[in-house]
Amino acid sequence: MSGPHAVGLTVHDDLLAPGLFSELAGALAWVPMFFSRRADHDADAHPLDGYSFYPLATVEDKRNDDAQPALNGLDPALACVRQVWDTVRRAAGAVRLYECEFTANPFGSEGHPHHDCLVPERRHLHVTAIVYCNTEWDLAWAGETVLFDPQGDITAAVLPRPGRVSIIRGDPLHTARGVSRTCPLPRRVLVFKMWAIAS
């Protein structure tokens, strides 16, 4: 498949201005987190698979509604999230946001291979942007975002470098690998989930 709805990955290390990234990392450090077992809402998830998250903006009807108004209504202390969204949206092209979530995965919190879109025939329209929010990251800490092909082989792995942004199109099978035992920090990411809008 080719064109604007092709399955693919772009990685941006200079998309966010350093000042904006510093402001984002500082603001998100104060966001309260909830703990969830993935098995509570994903029948394929392992019962011990859990993660910490905070839903910043979401909608009831993910297929048709726009989460932009909810994002605009965030507390002023999180205004930087809206600024990051504006930057990500320009890089992603014509898209409609349906969810923005902040997650934090410490050692022992494993990701699992999944699709963000549960409707296979709509995956070609799906776009996910991941903003890596840790202010430091060591190669030995692992925590890569891993993408798979339809045969289950790894096609890409992205280290969560500070301020890096990954934009994933077409919703390939993917996962966040767990961090290593030596990692002293949770892996923090800001995730925007969107639909590509046909031009």
Residue 188: burial class (beta carbons within 10 Å; 0-12, 13-18, 19+): buried
Question: Mean of the pLDDT values across residues 91-115?
Answer: 89
Domains and CATH numbers, the chain: 8-196 (2.60.120.620)
pLDDT tens for residues 4-25? 445 699 999 999 999 999 999 9
State yes or no: pLDDT of 188 exceeds 60: yes
Distance of CA 136 to the CA centre of its chain: 18
What local confidence, expressed as pLDDT, does residue 111 receive?
77
pTM listed for this prediction: 0.92
Neighbour tally for 162: CB within 10 Å = 16
pLDDT in tens, 143-178: 999 999 999 999 999 999 999 999 999 999 999 999
Q: Which amino acid is at 99?
A: E
